[in-house]
Structure 1
Amino acid sequence: MLLNDLIGTLQLAIGPVILISGIGLIILSLTNRFGRIVDRTRQLSVEYRHTSQIDQERILEELRILTVRAKVIRSSNFLAVLSVLLVSFIIIGLFGSALYHFNMTYILIILFISSIISLILSLFLFIYDLDLSLKALWIELPKGLAQSDSD
């Protein structure tokens, strides 16, 4: 393998590496959201034990939403990490293709499309979590301040 071939391959690999960096920021955000959900769940669990029956019903409703949110964020995080793994395989494929002169074009295309689909699904779940977080907030607010679902 010539130095010029290596330079060309490195240039091709820069795009996927940038994609990994961007997805990494999304994963960081998802991980932070997951941590906040867990912390809030623990806090409400303690409150539940020390409140009246009426407040316990409100807390249980919020805990149900938090449970769904935790599952949604976990799935979103999984899909984002899967996207990074697929991009990593693209980089390996690029170097393997250049080093051993394999034609891996179709495999790399499939990996790229799979990575982007995984990322898109992750982002849709992220949007869904944002909606769920508003529903949980509305449960906490007094009846007069709570927004309707149409907002």
Structure 2
Amino acid sequence: MPFNAIASTIQSAVAPVFLFAGIGGILNVVGMRLSRSVDRVRAIEDLHSKSAGVEHHRYATELLLLERRIKHSNHATTLCVASALAVCLVVVFLFVSQMIGLNLGNTIALIFVLAMLLLAGGLIEFLTEIQIAIGGRRLHKEHMHQPDV
């Protein structure tokens, strides 16, 4: 494979590599939020088992919200990782196409579109997790202003 072809292929692979790095950043944020949710579940489960009445109900409600958040964070992680893997395939197919002289342009384009769709799905799941967290925060504030019965 001539040097010019290698250099051209590397230039073509730079954009997907930046995308890959961006997905890594998203995964870092989602992972941190997931970790915090799991830690919070552990803390609330202990309090829930020792509580009664209204307090017990509040903990149960928070646990349900946290489980929903964890589910959406997990889905976001799965979709973003799948997107990152598809981006890796794009880079691999760029090089394989150049090395063996096959025109894999349509395949590469389809995999790139798949990567974008997976990323979009992951971002939607991430946004859903954030909305649940905000809703849970509103619920927590409402309970703070209501007297215990």
What TM-score do you get using the length of structure 1 for normalisation? 0.92
| Structure 1 unmatched runs, 5+ | 147-151
- The farther-off stretch of 85-94 and 132-141 is 132-141
Overall identity of the aligned pairs, in %: 25
Larger relative helix fraction: 2
| Structure 2 unmatched runs, 5+ | none
Report the alpha carbon displacement of residue 54 of structure 1 after superposing the two structures with TM.
Answer: 1.1
What TM-score do you get using the length of structure 2 for normalisation? 0.93
- The farther-off stretch of 62-71 and 135-144 is 135-144
Amino acid at match of 2:109: I
Q: Which residue pairs with 2:131 in the alignment?
A: 131
Per-residue CA shift, 1:88-119, capped at 9, x if unaligned? 00000000001000110110011000000000
Instruction: Provide the secondary structure at the position in 2 that maps to 1:102.
Output: coil
Q: Which residue pairs with 1:43 in the alignment?
A: 43
Matches within 5 A, 1:42-121: 42-121=42-121
What is the alpha-carbon distance in structure 1 between the residues aligned to residue 8 and residue 16 of structure 2? Answer: 14
Per-residue CA shift, 1:12-56, capped at 9, x if unaligned? 111111000000000000100100010010110011122222101
Runs of 4+ in structure 1 deviating by more than 6 angstroms, as ranges, are: none
- 1:48 and 1:7, CA in 2 relative to 1: closer, same or farther beyond 3 A? same
CA RMSD of aligned residues (A): 1.4
Report the alpha carbon displacement of residue 144 of structure 1 after superposing the two structures with TM.
Answer: 6.7
Q: Which residue pairs with 2:12 in the alignment?
A: 12
- 1:57 and 1:143, CA in 2 relative to 1: closer, same or farther beyond 3 A? closer
- 1:110 and 1:124, CA in 2 relative to 1: closer, same or farther beyond 3 A? same
Amino acid at match of 1:101: G
